[in-house]
Structure 1
């Protein structure tokens, strides 16, 4: 049953994520967090940050990790198969169709519509993460991290993977300091 659910979740997100990995992220989020509840929003955002920092297609990295976490090695292979193989088959079919009709205006119109749709989907996911981060950081902390991140990436030209790694390291270090303080308070009480 679990392997079937893994296949269905990543098959749907892979097939409906037209426009590449970024457009599939909200779909993977819906399957993993909302539909099957394999992860919380915080865990998903951590996986997304790590997947963004690593090289390669994001959809397959996320599918591999979630599949492994939910169903072990077989789950990982299942999720990777469900994400990759149907997409390859559809790409071959669609490219054959587009090549046959490449001079038609509806083909260029369809191609032009992909970028705005992917942008809106990423914007919705980003806003969702901003709203949810307010619970743990507050609005001031969220806006501060967002502003500093934009400045670091756009004005200083630092790669997003370096920023993500620095934020993860900061979160890990501050989390371990908070645990030590709580443990010390528990020993004193």
Structure 2
């Protein structure tokens, strides 16, 4: 049993839990950095798939991501450790500092700190969105990438569908699309193989 893997999980989730100001969306780029860039537990494509599934499931997205990564590394125990490392420090800090925070809620200094952090969170989310869009552009092509982006925007902003419904719809399409594509590819390979067998030696 490798203790270093548990240490990596604990330190990674501690950082995401403590530095993830603003809730789930702001934590996602931090989790991405820890899991994909720093420790290389998973690839970027897999992170995108996990993020989509986590969005479709009920509950806070950050804890779902932490649980998956912990389970991915060390099974059930890893999932428990990851979730606890992610949520306990901030919970303990909030409970300990609740009175102080309440007394400072109208402070101009605190308001300034909050205002200063918001652009950083916005840029982090923007960078992650750009990376995902670039991969979609490469994987789907220009027309499909732009089309799906526009469709998602319309469904979320104009039709105002719940994000989970939009994600499920796109997952359903992706499943059927790649199933058909794989089936066609297998048929093509089979025809090529039969053609090669039919050629004279």
TM-score, normalised via structure 2 length: 0.87
Give me the whole-angstrom Cα distance separating, in 2, the residues matched to 1:175 and 1:122: 28
Which of structures 1 and 2 has the bigger CA Rg?
Answer: 2
The answer on whether the counterparts of 1:98 and 1:107 sit within 8 Å (CA) in structure 2 is no
Indicate conservation of the 8 Å contact 1:7/1:79, yes or no: yes
Q: Distance in 2 between matches of 1:176 and 1:140?
A: 20
1:26 maps to what in 2? 29
Return the offset for 1:131: 1.5
Aligned to 1:101: 104
1:49-107, CA deviations, whole angstroms, 9 ceiling, x for partnerless residues?
11111221110010011111121001101110111101201222443332233343212
- CA distance in 2 between counterparts of 1:157 and 1:4 reads 42
Q: TM-score, normalised to structure 1's length? A: 0.92
Deviates more, 1:12-21 or 1:111-120: 111-120
Does the aligned pair in 2 maintain the 1:6–1:67 contact within 8 Å? yes
Question: Comparing 98-107 with 37-46, which one deviates more in the overlay?
Answer: 98-107
Would the aligned equivalents of 1:17 and 1:27 in 2 still touch at CA under 8 Å?
yes
The separation in 2 between residues aligned to 1:40 and 1:15, in whole angstroms, is 24
For these two proteins, the number of residue pairs brought into alignment is 189
1:17 counterpart = 2:20:
yes
Q: How does 1:146-161 map to 2 (within 5 A)?
A: 146-161=149-164
Taking only aligned residues, the RMSD between alpha carbons, in angstroms, comes to: 1.6
Question: 1:114 offset after TM fit, Å?
Answer: 4.4
Unaligned runs of 5+ in 2: 194-201
From 78, 83, 86, the equivalent of 1:80 is 83
**Cα offset, 1:130, TM superposition:** 0.9
Secondary structure at the aligned position of 1:19 is classed as coil
| Equivalent residues of 1:23, 1:122 under 8 A apart | yes
SS in 2 for 1:168: helix
Q: Tell whether the 8 Å contact from 1:63 to 1:76 is kept in structure 2 after alignment.
A: yes
2:196 aligned partner? none
Runs of 4+ with deviation above 4 angstroms = none
